[in-house]
Chain A
Amino acid sequence: MSTGTEWPLWEVFIRSQHGLAHKHVGSLHAPDAAMAIRNARDVYTRRNEGVSIWVARSADLHASSPDERDALFDPAGDKVYRHPTFFPMPDEVKHL
């Protein structure tokens, strides 16, 4: 019944009109990049959701592993001085 050869999977990123960055919206199957972009147009931008499409082969994406979540992201947890709220400002001082 099946051909035994599936079209490869692509991840789709769309930039909306509001000058934001491309954002991951989902994935789809397509034989090549050109068809992936055409299919992405049909699947993910039927209501003016975007003005630009990126596609990348899912196989080419590298992701951090959930197992290293703590090792990667814990170090940022205790550095409250990286946030402006760490420095109390007197009420009389304006624009700071």
Chain B
Amino acid sequence: MYAQMVDTGQSRLAGLAELSPEERAFQSRIDADVKIEPRDDMPEAYRRTLIRQIQQHAHSEVVGMLPEGNWITRAPSLQRKATLMAKVQDEAGHGLYLYCAAETLGVSRDRMIEDLHAGKVRYSSIFNYPTLTWADIGTIGWLVDGAAIMNQIPLCRCSFGPYARAMIRVCKEESFHQRQGFDILMTLCRGTAAQKAMAQDALDRWWWPSLMMFGPPDAESVHSAQSARWKIKLLSNDELRQRFVDQTVPQADYLGLTMPDPELRWNDARGHYDFGEIDWQEFHEVLKGHGPCNHDRMATRIKAWEDGAWVREAALAHAAKRAARQREAA
């Protein structure tokens, strides 16, 4: 998801009897659905895992602005342009809410940004794919934001108060993102044959990467089990992915588009859609930095940060000067 394969620092899931009295007290608070707040006692591993998870999530929101930002100047109408700007601005806001939530755990904003730029912390694999046509902007809103919503709604109930509160704000804003994307695709699919073909081409390229967003099956993952016990992961990757497929296939049918998966079919016995094998090799390559746009995305982020350095310094100097002048006048 926006935070994929978060490392919990654990090599195996400890039995309840192995926990220290403090850890057991902490676990019983989690089990009783007590929200953990920044100044409460918490195991160091819980704190570190959350910093990693929230930080990955924040970086994904921020890097996620880049593929869409590419199309602001090329939007086909003034209304589409205003809508896309509002959507991208929301994503900046999501990044900020999340950075603030991570900061309550004792990590500085600059440190997180340095870690992203140094390649020490990931962002979602999905933002390493290119946006080749206007139909990609529709498809991102529909599929990528759709997948994000699926993941973020359960996180509104996660055990860490500031993260849960940030998710509630994010979810309120997110549904407009998905709808504006679907609206773009409806327009294209009702348009000329060329426009419809453009929509189909975008779906062909984005469908599988969207399914990869949920991460590999986590049945055997120690980290997933630990995160589930801490209630910072509420549903498994496969559960979320299945829900996403079930909800999205009928929407594609409505658009008259075909999912690029010959094995996709309704399974009456399961009450779910069956779908084909995901290319996890591709997913791992993208995470390792070998996706089509990894290099581009990081270069753009680092340039923005470095080009903005003088503004950050000047604003601080200006504030200091003004404060000094006020003190003199007093």
Contacts and interface: CB of A to CB of B under 8 A. Distances in A.
A46 B305 contact: no
B319 to A, nearest CB: 4
Nearest to B97: A26
B322 A27 contact: no
A2 B113 contact: yes
Contacts of A29: 109
A12 to B, nearest CB: 10
Contacts, number: 60
Interface SS of B by simple majority: helix
Contacts of B47: none
Contacts of A26: 97, 100, 165-166, 169
Nearest to A33: B319
A32 B41 contact: no
Contact of A28 (B89, B100, B302): B100
A59 interface: no
Interface of B: 37, 39-41, 86, 89-90, 93, 96-97, 100, 103, 108-110, 113-114, 117, 165-166, 169, 173, 302, 305-306, 309, 312-313, 315-316, 318-319, 322-323
17 contacts: A1-B302, A3-B110, A4-B110, A5-B316, A6-B109, A9-B103, A26-B166, A31-B315, A31-B316, A32-B318, A32-B319, A32-B322, A35-B319, A43-B96, A46-B90, A66-B39, A66-B41
Interface of A: 1-7, 9, 25-29, 31-32, 35, 42-43, 46-47, 63, 65-66
